[in-house]
Amino acid sequence: MITTDRMAAVDANAAALGIPRKQLMESSGNAVARAVRTVAEPGATVALCCGRGNNGGDAFVAARFLSAYDVGVTLLGRPESIRTDIARENWDALAEAELPTKTVTDSADLSLGDPDVVVDAMLGSGATGRLREPERSAARAINANDATVVSVDVPSGIDADTGDPTGAPDGNSIGGADDLTGAATADSTGASGDAPILVEADGVVTFHDAKPGLDALDATVTVADIGIPRAAERFTGPGDLLGISRDPNSHKGDNGEVLVVGGGPYTGAPSLTARAALRAGADLVSVACPETVAREIQGFSADLIVRDLPGDRLGPNHLDRVRDLAAGTDAVVLGPGLGDSDGTADFVRAFLAAYDGRAVVDADALRVVPEIDTDADLICTPHQGELVAMGGETADDPDERGELVRSFAGELGHTLLVKGAYDVVTDGDDLRLNRTGNPGMTVGGTGDVLAGAVGALAAQTDAFRGAVAGAYVTGTAGDLVADERGYGLVATDVIDRLPEAMRDA
């Protein structure tokens, strides 16, 4: 089962693996043609009713695979309004191949005739809101026709995630709404009101994986393999950055406020974490650290807000102040450069026990996690040694390690990002491997960079997606550096390349 958002991510990851969308469209169209062959004998008439998005594109391809049939391709809209290059290229190919095509811009001109099969390729996963014209009238005409209806990906007008009509308020499921086919309102007065309409399909050919919204349909649903390799789901990729793009009208602070709690014995680590959080897109990043190191951390970067706390180590006496600072932020990164003094461990324990926000936990703060009961949403970023010290298990084979980490994350009730040549990211349920990065990143400080990037991204999305995206972009930035500097790479280089690694976001 796959949601629309995840499908879009997997599709982008497949493209990054060298399987472009046009290639997937070719497989999809082929699968649609196969579905038609199962419902009609060669020579039958097939009317393909196509929208202007890639759902229509799939049907343009299908028409080429149906040479044994009497096909007619109808585009709803002008050819210039076809939205994507790949759909337009497949449309143009139909004309060049002298296959019968026609365009309908006014729904009054739509006549389906008396086909044996209608292919509904008006709208797929890109549909928003209730069906508009001419798709609306076309859906009514399709439902009123006697032909066998085969829908491409999803019946047009259905939300693939919920099964509700697109644009319906929550909870308006198709189960109780039998007037949605439009049959009752398809009268000559056109008095359809504003009722949602959707195509009533006999068969649906959906791609790659089943969709939650197709479960309750009274139609034969076929899942077609369109050649998306398992790696597109198993590994992180640029698709995991989709949805992290920012609203053009956003204000300062809307795109993440991060508090780094660290420093004491060390100054470099919290500074790297904080600067990585800024380069990964956080709007405001502050560092809460002992006063003895505050000036030095500030000296590394004028972009940081430094909050100094009395003394030279963090301890339980700082709890109130750090809680106040954390309360106003979207994510806390706890651990970089904190050291392992007893007082600091007591501080971490007490802070996490009472915290209910989102936090990345790294370095010396990690060992406290298995002992505490907390409502906080944690992302723990251990390397394999730290994982074992926390009570987790590891294995050489990445998939085997993934399963061990998944069950440990489930026990902890938190997200784990276990660092390695293949990072494992899991919330106990979902699991991804990240293979970006290179051996040059074993240099000191890259773990601090990762924690900062994850903090910034978790501040803008959720814990699991932040961890997945953070692992992917930090490794990608490291790979960009290694291309130029080989194993002379240092952690600050990686920070500088984060924006480039994130350009797909």
Q: Is 157 annotated as a binding residue?
A: no
For the CB of residue 39, give the shortest distance to ligand NAX in the complex, in Å.
19
For the CB of residue 2, give the shortest distance to ligand NAX in the complex, in Å.
10
Q: Is 156 annotated as a binding residue?
A: yes
Q: Is 113 annotated as a binding residue?
A: no
Give the one entry of K ion, ligand NAX, none that residue 151 binds, where binding means its C-beta sits below a cut-off of 5 to 8 angstroms depending on kind: K ion
**Closer to K ion by Cβ: residue 65 or 207:** 207
Query: Residue 458 in contact with residue 235, Cβ under 8 Å?
Result: no
Give the one entry of K ion, ligand NAX, none that residue 129 binds, where binding means its C-beta sits below a cut-off of 5 to 8 angstroms depending on kind: ligand NAX
Of residues 50 through 89, those in contact with K ion by CB under 5 A are 55
**Closer to K ion by Cβ: residue 33 or 412:** 33
Give the one entry of K ion, ligand NAX, none that residue 26 binds, where binding means its C-beta sits below a cut-off of 5 to 8 angstroms depending on kind: none
Give the one entry of ligand NAX, K ion, none that residue 25 binds, where binding means its C-beta sits below a cut-off of 5 to 8 angstroms depending on kind: ligand NAX
**Given candidates 137, 151, 273, 344, which one binds K ion under the rule CB under 5 A?**
151
Query: What is the rounded end-to-end Cα distance, in angstroms, of the chain?
Result: 25
Rounded Cα distance between 429 and 505, Å, is 24
Q: Is 124 annotated as a binding residue?
A: yes
152 binds K ion (CB under 5 A): yes
Q: For strand 431-434 and strand 220-224, is the pairing parallel, antiparallel, or unpaired?
A: unpaired
Q: For strand 220-224 and strand 257-261, is the pairing parallel, antiparallel, or unpaired?
A: unpaired
Give residue for tokens 């990445």.
Answer: 398
Of residues 79 through 138, those in contact with K ion by CB under 5 A are 120
For the CB of residue 129, give the shortest distance to K ion in the complex, in Å.
15
* Element of type H or E holding 305: strand 305-309
474 binds K ion (CB under 5 A): no
**Closer to ligand NAX by Cβ: residue 135 or 362:** 135
Count of Cβ atoms closer than 10 Å to residue 444 Cβ: 11
Query: Residue 23 in contact with residue 227, Cβ under 8 Å?
Result: yes
Among candidates 477, 412, 427, which has minimal Cα distance to 449?
477
For the CB of residue 411, give the shortest distance to ligand NAX in the complex, in Å.
34
For the CB of residue 166, give the shortest distance to ligand NAX in the complex, in Å.
6
For the CB of residue 263, give the shortest distance to K ion in the complex, in Å.
56
Q: Is 67 annotated as a binding residue?
A: no
Q: Is 163 annotated as a binding residue?
A: no
Give the one entry of K ion, ligand NAX, none that residue 135 binds, where binding means its C-beta sits below a cut-off of 5 to 8 angstroms depending on kind: ligand NAX
For the CB of residue 122, give the shortest distance to K ion in the complex, in Å.
6
For 441, phi then psi, to 5°, come to -85, 5
Give the one entry of K ion, ligand NAX, none that residue 234 binds, where binding means its C-beta sits below a cut-off of 5 to 8 angstroms depending on kind: none
CA quadruple 296, 298, 300, 304: dihedral sign: positive
Whether omega before 169 lies within 30 degrees of 0, making that bond cis, reads no
For 395, phi then psi, to 5°, come to -150, 160
Give the one entry of K ion, ligand NAX, none that residue 4 binds, where binding means its C-beta sits below a cut-off of 5 to 8 angstroms depending on kind: none
Question: Rule CB under 6 A: which residues touch ligand NAX?
Answer: 7-8, 11, 24-25, 28, 51-58, 83-84, 123-132, 135, 152-153, 166, 207, 226
For the CB of residue 3, give the shortest distance to ligand NAX in the complex, in Å.
11
Of residues 238 through 267, those in contact with K ion by CB under 5 A are none
State which amino acid sits at residue 24: L
Report residue 24 as tokens.
Answer: 């997937």
Among candidates 162, 137, 144, 142, which has minimal Cα distance to 152?
142
Whether omega before 134 lies within 30 degrees of 0, making that bond cis, reads yes
Rounded Cα distance between 296 and 5, Å, is 43
Percent helix / strand / coil, the chain, rounded to 5: 45, 15, 40
**Given candidates 143, 156, 166, 394, which one binds K ion under the rule CB under 5 A?**
156
- Whole-number Cα distances in Å, 331 to 157, 161, 260, 344, 442: 38, 29, 9, 20, 26
**Closer to K ion by Cβ: residue 126 or 311:** 126
Tell me how far apart the 2 most distant CA atoms of the chain are, in Å: 86
**Closer to ligand NAX by Cβ: residue 126 or 311:** 126
Q: Is 251 annotated as a binding residue?
A: no
Rounded Cα distance between 223 and 27, Å, is 12
For the CB of residue 42, give the shortest distance to K ion in the complex, in Å.
24
Length of the chain: 505
Q: Is 237 annotated as a binding residue?
A: no
Rounded Cα distance between 165 and 176, Å, is 12
Residue 334 CA to chain centroid, in angstroms? 26
Report residue 344 as tokens.
Answer: 């600091």
Give residue for tokens 């932020």.
Answer: 329
Closest residue (Cβ) to ligand NAX?
Answer: 124
441 binds K ion (CB under 5 A): no
**Closer to K ion by Cβ: residue 221 or 372:** 221
- Per-residue interface string for the shown chain with K ion, residues 16-55, x marking contact by CB under 5 A: ---------------------------------------x
For the CB of residue 128, give the shortest distance to ligand NAX in the complex, in Å.
4
Residue ranges binding K ion (CB under 5 A): 55, 120, 151-152, 156
